Amino acid sequence: MNQPGLFEIAGFGPDGWGKILLAGAWMTILIAMSGYAVGACIGTFGAWAKIAGNRFARTVADAYTTVLRGIPDLLVIYLFYFGGSAVVTAVGKFFGADGFLGFPGFLAGSLAVGVTSGAQFTEVLRGGFKAVHPGEIEAAIACGMPRGLRLRRIIAPLTLRHALPGLGNVWQVVLKESALVSITGVAELLRQAQVGAGSTGLPFDFYLIAGVIYLMISTVSSVVFQRADRHLSRGARRR
């Protein structure tokens, strides 16, 4: 029996795995987007804590970024998955359930990716805020602009403008980190490629196709961030 070729594997015919791989790619994007959103929320508070004058908040934020940037991402996923499963099992036993109760792999992966990327978000947003010229904030204060309006109209847009290239890099990292979530059994792209490789005995073909799909997602993402950067930078002079 002849083995299917590379294009047959990537196709949608009888021997094709195209539909399964595309479903895995969509799951990869969902995990990355969920983790990115969680990281953005954490990073916003982390950047505020580092910028604010409160010493306790700054110490907590410094400890968070130091720890999360020093621990392997795979270990964080393991901690969320097995730690979450232990908590869910304990709660289940408390309410009379028997046996092991697993923590959802998608949720564990999204939270783990979000928490790890949050440390990078913190530094990128802090750097974006530091890049805002003090004179622009002072001008808003001199005009009598309230603090909330000043944040919404001046500080936040300028911070985002300066931080956007770094945020694009964080997205690329999050996209690659999503592949690690396959260890929890979530049917994302790498997991589907592993299943296909094991079923057909063609690991090189499946991993090559998965790599091409990852590259396509990454390339499209780069174009989106570049266009967003150009849009926010209209009328601005780069220093």
pLDDT digits (tens, 9 = 90+) for 16-55: 899 999 999 999 999 999 999 999 999 999 999 998 878 9
Find, among 172, 174, 193, 185, the residue nearest to 24 by Cα.
193
Phi, psi of 101 (to 5 degrees): -120, 115
For residues 7 and 12, what is the distance between their CA atoms, to the nearest angstrom?
Answer: 10
Find, among 180, 44, 164, 60, the residue nearest to 110 by Cα.
180
Alpha-helical segments (H) within the chain = 6-10, 18-51, 55-70, 73-94, 105-130, 134-142, 147-150, 156-177, 189-200, 203-232
For residues 217 and 199, what is the distance between their CA atoms, to the nearest angstrom?
Answer: 25
Name the token pair of 139. 């001008």
30: Cα separation from own chain's centroid = 10
DSSP-derived letter for residue 182 is G
> Taking a C-beta distance cutoff of 8 angstroms, is the pair 164, 115 a contact?
no
> Taking a C-beta distance cutoff of 8 angstroms, is the pair 119, 172 a contact?
no
Name the token pair of 207. 């991993």
Amino acid in the structure at residue 9: I
The answer to whether residue 129 scores a pLDDT higher than 60 is yes
Q: Strand, helix or coil at 53?
A: coil
For the chain, list the strands marked E by DSSP: none
Instruction: Supply the pLDDT for residue 26.
Output: 96
Name the token pair of 30. 């969902």
The answer to whether residue 1 scores a pLDDT higher than 90 is no
By the 10 Å C-beta count (0-12 exposed, 13-18 middle, 19+ buried), 145 is classed as: middle
Mean pLDDT, range 125-144, rounded to an integer: 86
Instruction: Supply the pLDDT for residue 152.
Output: 83
The answer to whether residue 237 scores a pLDDT higher than 80 is no
By the 10 Å C-beta count (0-12 exposed, 13-18 middle, 19+ buried), 96 is classed as: exposed
Name the token pair of 43. 């990073």
Instruction: Supply the pLDDT for residue 77.
Output: 94
pLDDT single digits (tens) 186-236: 999 999 999 999 988 889 999 999 999 999 999 999 999 999 988 887 755
> Taking a C-beta distance cutoff of 8 angstroms, is the pair 200, 3 a contact?
yes
Comparing 158-172, 176-190, 224-238, the range with the smallest average pLDDT is: 224-238
DSSP-derived letter for residue 4 is P
> Taking a C-beta distance cutoff of 8 angstroms, is the pair 49, 67 a contact?
no
Instruction: Supply the pLDDT for residue 147.
Output: 80
* pLDDT higher at 50 or 134: 50
Q: What's the whole-number average pLDDT of the chain?
A: 89
Name the token pair of 42. 């954490």
